[in-house]
Chain A
């Protein structure tokens, strides 16, 4: 899509998931993020755009990266921010989600960035309150800004993603990044596959237009990009595979494995990395191959773009 065909506004007031936004919205976010990426590399790191806007970062689940990234994005747009985390708050006293957020909004907050363990929590909230809502991860459902920054990072390295092949490796079942990634990459015209122990792959994943590889070597032979997910020990109350050592042997990305594919493969990881489990250190630390820190850097620009575009669509 050329620049002149881009819309000037997002088609939505909230960013609840990639499912709800169009390919044109994604292109608009990318084109705006491009501006912020350039800005962040230059002299000006902060612009006054959202100085009249207050953003609440409401995190019902722990997060370091996403939260810092959102907070930096907000501050670089000059928005006022308030942070709320569930631990040590009135949530532990039995307050409902709606009451908690209504109380925060009563203090005149314009946007809510929320992470919640329940899938659909942001959707629910958007039906009841007036602020712009940005989903920062709802359970194992969606994590739209992560998918956007992943696709944006791929695009900055590879150009147009149409026809590119991306394999998502690892724990698909417990991942919110995976679904958003499938939807986003599909909208941008890329082919998507998953690879991992079959116990960690959702049963009907093919209905999303996703190929399934049981063997990592086959997947690597097929793909241009490997997006490696973290094994989420904290979400696994039963054992989905016999041991971490076995997991690494079968699904761990190592230099030797990548060399076998005999072509350049971009390695991505949404963090935090379990070194020596899903990714070996030599791959993770190779800046030509793994773009993990680039993803983090692009994350701020993407989140600035989302905040900016949603903020611009709202009259104050």
Chain B
């Protein structure tokens, strides 16, 4: 088995917020092989966006990487200089963010922006080549080449997001990171965009990392899932399996509340459970129905279970 395309090892990142230091990502581990489509599912406060920013070298100034490595094809991304990043960003690793649509330059035509983007990363290409590539990619995202002559404000949200997807694929990256790419879009466009991303990543064998808070969306697109809570990876495995047989108490809680809504079988609720992420012991221990003394004090380590097909970070499980 060849080495993984992306490997995150024991990553811990903290933020300095108003004279307090908070661990936002703690001891995160996972591997991404070439051709994988991995969903990283987490709610607010799970650390998933910080993780994405770290992989792209876009952490804000008040972020400190306390420990760990992010290896992309063996290179530690955390140690790259900005010049080295220029070679990697967009060419090897591309991204689609939530607010990407708003990042389009409002005073430039779409076509010109794409040309500028391409040439920035590929100085020596001829204009004809570039135009050809751009038209090709625009068609790939189901848009008519006429949009190249339009300005961003003339396009709908769905169309803008397709442009963003096109721009991310322009240089044929190996890895595509999409962080909530459809949040601002209506449900119908959302499902179209997701099928589009799935189709293109299959066709071009692009490794996909899809970050979302909605695990049902993830199931449209990805085969594997990593569940994050309180800054760390709690469970990992095949998506269908994790949904039908969740192992971690948080995953169980998540799946059961979503199924409650889907099946319309609401059970009697308890009062507002503390949604606080615990800073000592397991982050989930304050909400966990199975928590024990050890959960309050020690930080669980990830363990492989079920013939190594699943990874869980919980004291309930032994190797």
Real binding pair: no
